[in-house]
Chain A
Amino acid sequence: MKQIKVNLIFLLLIFPSTLFALEIKEHRFENGLKVLIIENHKAPVATFQVWYRTGSRNEPAGKSGLSHLLEHMMFKGTPRYGPSVFSKIIQKNGGTDNAYTTQDYTVYFEISSSDRIMLAFDLESDRMQNLTLDPKEVLSERSVVMEERRLRYEDDPQNSLFEEVVAAAYKVHPYQRPVIGWMSDLESIERDDLYKYYKVNYSPNNAVIVIVGDVKTDQIIEHVNKSFGHIQSGPLRKSTASSEPDQKGERRILLRREAEMPYLLIAYHTPAFPHEDSYSLAVLSLILSGGKSSRLYKSLVYEKKIALNVDTEYDGFNKDPYLFFLDATVFPEKNINDVEDALCTEIEKIKNRPPSEQEVQKARNQIEASFIMEQDSIYLEAMKYGMFEILGDWRLIDRYLEGIRKVTPEDVTTVAKKYLRKDNRTVGILIPTKEVKSEK
């Protein structure tokens, strides 16, 4: 067995006070591949994940959906393992495997008993280098993705509005396009587009491996080295995306289609973590919509009874500045204008007066507790470390929690004023049209 020359770094990450200590082991091979390992011996299971630092953000114009279609094609075989063999091998060993694509990264993972997890190594290593990309399979899988698009977007009124709002909020930055791709772009993707993209982005120096579970670090590192250590580095890649100019005026989108209820979705441009405002924005989001005791639920759902549900979405976990979302489904027979007014009233309120210390503390508690609860699952644990690593460095987890702890009520008001401005938002409104309904 070849001796590993690379330095092993052992780091102990201690979460202050309430959080739980975790030992993360980081390792980098000469070909640029980084490996993170967390031993967790609670149950005899483990997860193996390969993260590629590429997503829809890295697609050429006119080829939206390329990253995601390639993710599908990664299950369609190499010269060594034919089409659809990958998952069958994992499953007959009692494991499960899957993958997903985001704007910023693409993840492939296996979960299985810890004594079988190493089966995945050669399979993942093989498809990192030797994907077949058979043109016939490309055509067939393209139509599968089109079905997925119909399922998730075309026939889902609220997701359709989401797609419209994001597309309107961005004019320049690739976050404008949906991860799954526009239908006409999908139709234009050929085998060569996939191959070029694969060659540029799928390489050890553009990947991170995360392993969590009942494993022994020294042993597992040897196996990772055997499977991945020999792979040649890929080309150096520029991963800059055009930056979005400031938005200078509200944009409004109307979507008319068959649907049951009117729906409102508002998106404000906001910075991404680790920007100094990202912590206060995360706390602001929870104060507005973190559960039934949050401001928006209490006002719009509980007291005024004008919304069926109301939510905000901000975590800041993107490579580039993304959006702070507010959305509400209108209560039957109620007016969407009243819902929009009530949302704006709540936003003005928090811009004008800082929230109570209790509200801020509650948000901090919710974030800290969720970090601990997530450690119950090796899968979620691996996902968290992989994501922070993609955003820059897994050690940023520490900085994130530290940042959250420091947020004051005044900080919340400051970021609300700075970002939740009318000129900085895109408002989407779903108007249900009369439906044809006949049962036979």
Chain B
Amino acid sequence: MLVFLLIVTANCLLPTNAFALNVKKTTLQNGLIVLYSEEHSLPILMLTLLVKASPLNEPKDKAGLANLTAELLLEGTRHRKSTDISEEIEFLGASLDTSTSSDYTTVTLSVLKKDINKGLELFSDILLNPVFPQQEIERKKEIIKGSLKHREEDPSFIAERTFRNEVFGEHPYGRLTEGLGETIDSIKREDLIRFYSDYFLPNNSILSIVGDLTEEELNVLVKGYLDNWARANLPPMLPRVFDQTKITKIIKKIDKDLTQASIILGNIGISRNNPDYYAVSIMNYILGGGGFSSRLMQSIRDDMGLAYDVDSSFSTNKEKGIFQIEVQTKNKSAGLVISEIVKQMKRIQKEEVSDDELADAKSYLTGSFMRRLDTNRKIADFLALVEFYNLGFDYIVKYPVYINSITKKDILRVAKKYLNSENYVLVVVANQKKAALKY
């Protein structure tokens, strides 16, 4: 049945009182925040560097700039060619990667303890000394554009891309992190160098290290490899507006020769710092985020046998988020599934959830927290995000308190406030003739 519970996005953090993390936080002279947790059970080290550089910082006509900058870090430094970097890191059996999402970019290193010096030296080299070779820029652009084309083979990618675009409009969250063919083409080497020097700064970053390392060892390494990373002033934020006035029903139908309809239905969601985050988490769990415990799964999969998976999610970002219900069903069931989804949305907006549903959701959300911190990699990422979203390191203790304070009335209130069962955005990628939707 392999449906994994995706009730929360990476930035949703769940805690317990049974499990305490020993975290040390220091801020270096250059402004870099260093979070560190010692963990000697395995001879490994996990590093996550979070840089506040993302599509939020790029102009629309250069969409993909943040992502391309991050990708190019691995493609040449003052000391190494692209091929040297991959050869050296792979020889260690280690991994060194970059990744850009809506709000930030991460550079991650996973390395055996015995190779920590070499690993950190490579990590600091790509971070501090990238040279953005023209040839590598061209190569990378072609690969990114090719991958985007390739992803068009995936109906849920098409649905997701279309949906985000409709919900967020002009806001950077509405576009692909990778950009589009034209915007990628318009990115010049100077843009990359400028973006890198504007945002890849110690005073704009959080470093999180978890693993087999003492504090003394850590201090020597950080001093040795990141001390001469120079602080600088950040450019002003780019102005952004949300066009909130035109909330109307939008239906996008995309025709492809498929056996299934890929459906996304939803609306604008909430930001990570919205105080209703916790009530929304519970409401979403009951509606469609709770895997086999959710209402949508119960009705659409278990009772009707119409889908392998159906889930709802609030993905929350720094500025805004998205609410979406996603499902795939054979073309001719598309209409039936959509009406069931809308029915379930209306139901949770009209009637209070039951005592059992509320209690079960609370016990799942509070009780599953420790599983989100059961590997060094997860802890490293968690710490960086707690810092980034300003949740405070007592968040682990506070989370169950927040969750347990939510009432049935709160659930009803947030369902009314944040679900739009009338003016939603609906995207259907399907063989439209067979789907034969009424609208």
Contacts and interface: CB of A to CB of B under 8 A. Distances in A.
A155 B139 contact: no
A320 B366 CA distance: 44
Contact of A154 (B252, B260, B301): B260
Contacts of B290: 91
Given A98-B1, A144-B308, A261-B153, A437 B256 contact: yes
A155 B260 contact: yes
Contact of A43 (B252, B291, B304, B374): B374
A20 B306 contact: no
Given A99-B2, A100-B2, A84 B255 contact: no
Contacts of B302: 83-84, 140
A438 B255 contact: yes
Contact of A94 (B93, B114, B153, B368): B368
Contacts of B112: 18, 369, 372
A333 B203 CA distance: 44
A96 interface: yes
Contacts of B94: 369
A116 B373 CA distance: 17
A92 to B, nearest CB: 4
A353 interface: no
B225 to A, nearest CB: 21
Contacts of B114: 18
B42 A376 contact: yes
Contacts, number: 218
Contact of A150 (B42, B291, B304, B330): B330
Interface string B281-310: 000000000111100001001111111110
B52 interface: no
Q: How many B residues are at the interface, by size bracket?
A: 35 or more
A94 B17 CA distance: 13
Given A92-B364, A96-B368, A292-B90, A376 B257 contact: no
A361 interface: yes
Interface stretch (A51-59, A268-276, A300-308): A300-308
From DSSP, what is the main secondary structure of chain A's interface residues? mixed
Given A20-B43, A94-B367, A96-B371, A258 B257 contact: yes
Q: How many A residues are at the interface, by size bracket?
A: 35 or more
Contacts of B373: 43
Nearest to A331: B146
A87 B293 contact: yes
Interface in B368-397: 368-371, 373-377
A309 B211 CA distance: 33
A139 B254 CA distance: 31
A414 interface: no
B155 interface: yes
Given A44-B19, A45-B374, A260 B152 contact: yes
B374 A98 contact: no
Nearest to B359: A92
Contact of B260 (A20, A147, A376, A440): A147
Contacts of A294: 90
A40 B376 CA distance: 14
Contacts of B41: 40-42
A358 B91 CA distance: 8
A27 B4 CA distance: 31
Contacts of B150: 260-261, 308, 329
Contacts of B39: 42
Nearest to A84: B302
Interface string A313-342: 000000000000000010110000000000
A340 B291 CA distance: 43
A437 B255 contact: yes
Interface string B148-186: 011011110000000000000000000000000000000
B43 A372 contact: yes
B293 A88 contact: yes
A56 to B, nearest CB: 15
Contacts of A440: 252-255, 432
A368 B259 CA distance: 43
B143 interface: yes
Contacts of A175: none
8 contacts: A42-B39, A43-B373, A92-B360, A147-B306, A155-B259, A305-B142, A376-B376, A439-B253
Interface of A: 18, 20, 40-45, 71-72, 75, 83-84, 87-88, 91-96, 98-100, 111-113, 116, 139-148, 150-151, 154-158, 257-261, 290-294, 298, 301-302, 305, 308, 329, 331-332, 358, 361-362, 365-370, 372-373, 375-378, 435-440
